[in-house]
Amino acid sequence: MSPTPFDLLFNPRGIVVAGASTHPGKFGFVALHNVLAGGFDGPVFATNPEQPTILGLDTLASVEQVPAGAADMVLVCTPPQTCADILRSAASRGIGAAFIASGGFREAGAEGARAEEELVDLARSLGMTVAGPNGQGLISTPAKLAAQIVAPVPPPGPIAVASQSGNLVSALMNYAAHSGVGISRAVSAGNAAMVGVVDYLGWFAGDPHTKAMAAYVEGVGDGRQFAAAIRKVSEAKPVVLVKGGTTPRGAKAAASHTGALATDDRVFDGMVRQSGAVRAATIEEAFDAVAAFATQPLPAGPRTVVLSSAGGWGVIAADAVSKSSLELVPLPADLEAAIDRLVPPRWSRHNPIDLAGGESRDTIPEAIHLVAEHREVDAVVYLGMGIQANTASHLRSGPYFHSAELARICEYHERQDSRFATAAAEASAQTGKPILAATELAVTQPGNSGPAAMAAGNRYCFPSADRAVRALHHLWWYAQWRKRHLRAKA
């Protein structure tokens, strides 16, 4: 099969950095550095008319010197007035795709908009695909490709990102690096002159390395076309959308940022819901949701049990569940009896399950499995992971660690929280039910053995009960939409 334009962008045989620079503060230097440092397997070429050696790579005077057929993509880091000539030269060498990082096009006003239209017309006449302009680049971890003019290089993982804002791509990649739930593909669409966010999402939907997608948009152009494209993508995989420019001032900022035209937010919200995409209000909520989709099974129903080591977390979670589409299911009598055999009688005896600090060595893993395996439970929110390892951290940093020979108990505490993380993942895999764990230690102490074990197992640890419940709400909403939509199509 012939490669698609997106194959040329995300899985190129070779890449050219046009406008490579010796100055570490220039985009041309950073772009070449990122491509080389990322470990891209194919040939890398760089152009600079003075032909210096940059980062050990001998540069070429122009794109015309690239061997024919050796590269599929050119990353353009030169002034806007040079882009047309670079496209012509690239096409003559068999290069079929370009990512134009250069700014100064539609976002700069009427003259820039005309230049952008002319560039797209030229690309079409050459049979080339242009990403951007005015974008920061793309990431493709299966290809070990970091073709971008900024720093974040996330770990490999199941999340794909497409955004009209480069710095919001970076934000999502930073969350991925912090959480351990990594990125398959990520792209800054920039002005989206030729290919836009929905085009990328359409390709991600068929990408075997991607399980869920996140997108940021400021303007959508043809609303009907956008809705139809999102619906098709949502049939295949979950999509989480964040929209900027929802207020008059935000819309004005969007116009100056990417030249995007605002849409009525109420109309947009209804369109998104009908199309099956999840609407997130913030980037944090978007990452929570897409990480949940990428690492958790969809719930079969709304019946949720909250399992907590202590009471306050459970109360907060109960409030959050009550404000969502989920159901805080009454604790079944047989499940109550089973838990009663595990812990002292002071535990709550209702949902949320507050173990009241009465757990012993194996209580948490056993309780997680008991709850998840129950036929009247669709999903579990587990709170309190990391408490023991946090105690160990304090003991290790204190003045008595060596004199009191505390290493053994510290190691035990750390192993326990690692076991709890493993138990949650195993119970979810065995039952096919989502089990979302949450602790603030995922943010305040990410090296804690609980969150660390989850990250090592490519599971997402939520920073709070509220955020875990919100993500679970999104899972259940999408599960319902998908069931209704596929039934209607049958």
Residues 356 and 226 in one domain: no
Quote the pLDDT of residue 408: 93
Residues 388 and 470 in one domain: yes
pLDDT tens profile 251-298: 455 444 444 444 677 888 888 899 999 999 999 999 999 999 999 999
Q: Is residue 199 part of a domain?
A: yes
Q: Give the pair of three-digit tokens for residue 69.
A: 């057929």
Report CA-CA distances (Å) from 284 to 173, 240, 415, 463: 12, 11, 30, 10
Q: Is residue 279 part of a domain?
A: yes
Residues 237 and 305 in one domain: no
Quote the pLDDT of residue 92: 98
Q: What is the torsional sign of CA 93, 94, 100, 104?
A: positive
Q: Give the pair of three-digit tokens for residue 156.
A: 């490999």
Residues 94 and 156 in one domain: no
Which domain CATH number covers 98?
3.40.50.720
Residues 224 and 361 in one domain: no
Residues 329 and 430 in one domain: yes
Q: Is residue 483 part of a domain?
A: no
Pure H helices in 151-243? 166-179, 197-205, 223-236
> Stretch 148-176: mean pLDDT, rounded?
95
Compute how many other C-beta atoms are within 10 angstroms of the C-beta atom of residue 205.
18
pLDDT tens profile 96-133: 999 999 999 999 999 999 999 999 999 999 999 999 99
Bridge partners (DSSP) of residue 18 are 47, 76
Q: Give the pair of three-digit tokens for residue 97.
A: 């795709």
Q: Is residue 275 part of a domain?
A: yes
What b/e readout covers 51-75, taking b as 16+ CB neighbours within 10 angstroms? eeebeebebbeebeebeeebbbbbb
Residues 302 and 290 in one domain: no
pLDDT tens profile 294-328: 999 999 999 999 999 877 889 999 999 999 999 99
Domain span at 341: 298-478
Which amino acid type is present at position 441?
Answer: L
Which domain CATH number covers 325?
3.40.50.261
Domain boundary among 150, 184, 208: 150
Q: Is residue 488 part of a domain?
A: no
pLDDT tens profile 407-464: 999 999 999 999 999 999 999 999 999 999 999 999 999 999 999 999 999 999 999 9
Quote the pLDDT of residue 254: 45
Q: In what order do the strands lie in the sheet with 239-243?
A: 145-148, 137-140, 183-188, 156-163, 212-217, 239-243, 278-279
The residue with tokens 């709070």 is 464
Q: Is residue 347 part of a domain?
A: yes
Residues 66 and 198 in one domain: no
Q: Is residue 185 part of a domain?
A: yes
Question: Residue 357: CB partners within 8 Å, gap ≥ 6?
Answer: 309, 310
| Mean pLDDT, all residues of the chain | 93
Report CA-CA distances (Å) from 400 to 282, 389, 397, 408, 409: 44, 17, 9, 13, 13
User: What is the rounded CA–CA span in Å between residue 282 and residue 195?
Assistant: 25
Residues 108 and 20 in one domain: yes
Q: Give the pair of three-digit tokens for residue 479.
A: 């599960």
State yes or no: cis peptide before 208, omega within 30 of 0: no
User: What is the rounded CA–CA span in Å between residue 40 and residue 146?
Assistant: 8
Residues 160 and 138 in one domain: no
User: What is the rounded CA–CA span in Å between residue 220 and residue 470?
Assistant: 26
Domain boundary among 295, 317, 341: 295
Quote the pLDDT of residue 249: 61
Residues 238 and 319 in one domain: no
pLDDT tens profile 242-257: 998 655 564 455 444 4
Residues 128 and 182 in one domain: no
pLDDT tens profile 366-396: 999 999 999 999 999 999 999 999 999 999 9
User: What is the rounded CA–CA span in Å between residue 187 and residue 160?
Assistant: 8
Domain boundary among 261, 276, 295: 295
- 18: phi then psi, degrees, rounded to nearest 5: -90, 120
Quote the pLDDT of residue 257: 44
- Report the number of distinct structural domains present in the chain: 3
- 3-state SS, residue 184: strand
Q: Is residue 490 part of a domain?
A: no
Report CA-CA distances (Å) from 425 to 303, 341, 386, 460: 19, 23, 15, 10
